[in-house]
Structure formats: C-alpha cells, structure tokens
Structure 1
Amino acid sequence: MDGSDADDTKQSTADMTVFVQNLLQQMQSRFQTMSDSIISKNILSISLDEMGTRIDELEQSINDLKAEMGQEGTPSPSAAKAKEEPKTADDSA
C-alpha cells in the first residue's frame, strides 16, 4: 500500500511540474507579445509625432509661399487661367 501511494505522489508531482512549466511558458509568451506590442506602439507614436512635425513644417512653407505671392502682387497661374477663359453662349445671355 505504501508503494502505491509513493507512485501516486510521484505521478502527481510530475503532472504538477508539467502543468506549472506549461503555465510559465504561456505567461512568458503573453508577456513577450505584450512587450512587442508596447514597443511597436511606441515606435508608431514616434513616427506619428515625426509625421506631425513634418506636416507642420509643410504648412509653414505653404504659408510662407502664399505670403511671398501676396507681396509680389502677381496672381497665381490658376487664377490667371480662370480670367482668360472665354465666355460661353450661356454666359452672354
């Protein structure tokens, strides 16, 4: 009877060891996934910040060009074309 109990205890211990090892592997995998996700979100956040800065710089350049165009007093090419378009028969009536 003692031999049987010892074998059951050894089997229970082996089963528990396997269970705990599997649980630890699953936890490690989940932590790694979360870590990778956090890192990628930080990289994405940095990229979005950089993109925002570049967009701000582009907007400033456009505003500077608009100001230059206004100071020179010359109309833009698209505005000049709009003034030169001939009137259609519908416009003259």
Structure 2
Amino acid sequence: WKETTRRDLTSVVQTLLPQMQEKFQTVSDQIIGRTDDTSSRIDDLEKNIADLMTQGGVEELEGENKIPPHRSGGHLKEGGIFAG
C-alpha cells in the first residue's frame, strides 16, 4: 500500500512540476513584457517633457529632483521648502 501511494505521489509531482514551470515561465514572460512596455512609455514621456521644456524656453535641469526657480520671486529655503 505504501509503495503504491509513493508511486502515485511521484507520478503526480512529475506531472505537476512541468505544468507549474510552464505557467511560471508564461507569467515571467508577461511581467518582463509589461516592464519593457512601461520602460518604453517612460522614455517617451521623458522625451515629450524635454521637448515641451525646450518649446517653453525652460533649460534642462541637471541632476535628479531639482526644482526650477519660481518665477514670481520666491525662493527655496533649506530642505526644499518654498517661501514665496
């Protein structure tokens, strides 16, 4: 009885494992595809923003998270808090 149960269990595992691997690969491929699509969209948005900034006469900021100076004469306090 034990040997039959063991063989049955082995058979089930041998059947399920390739199915699970295939499903995992499918989901993984979908995630990678969506990530690539999102990356392309972000690249397009960055290009569009840069084009709009150029059209608007705004110079491109260097570095990340820079805030352009406010045109109404306000200034940024330490820590990036705006004082108008």
TM-score > 0.5 by shorter chain:
yes
Match of 2:43 among 51, 56, 59: 56
Matched residue, 2:70: 79
Match of 1:44 among 31, 41, 57: 31
- Distance in 1 between the 2:5 and 2:71 partners? 81
Greater share of strand residues, 1 or 2?
Answer: 2
* Matched letter for residue 71 of structure 2: A
- Structure 1-normalised TM-score? 0.58
What do the CA deviations read for 1:27-79 (whole angstroms, capped 9, x no partner)?
Answer: 112222211111110000000000001000000100101110118xxxxxx62
Find the residue that maps to 1:80 and give its secondary structure: coil
Cα RMSD of the aligned pairs, angstroms, is 2.7
Please state whether the residue corresponding to 2:20 is helix, strand or coil: helix
- Structure 1 spans left out of the alignment, 5+ residues: 1-13, 72-77, 86-93
CA pair 79-18 structure 1, distance change in 2 beyond 3 A: same
TM-score (norm: length of structure 2): 0.63
Amino acid at match of 2:15: Q
Higher relative contact order, chain-length normalized (CA < 8 Å, sep 6+): 2
Paired residues in the alignment total 66
| Runs of at least 5 residues in structure 2 that lack an aligned partner in the other structure | 59-68, 75-84
Percent sequence identity over aligned pairs: 19
Of structures 1 and 2, the larger Rg is shown by 1
Q: How many Å separate the matches in 1 of 2:47 and 2:33?
A: 21
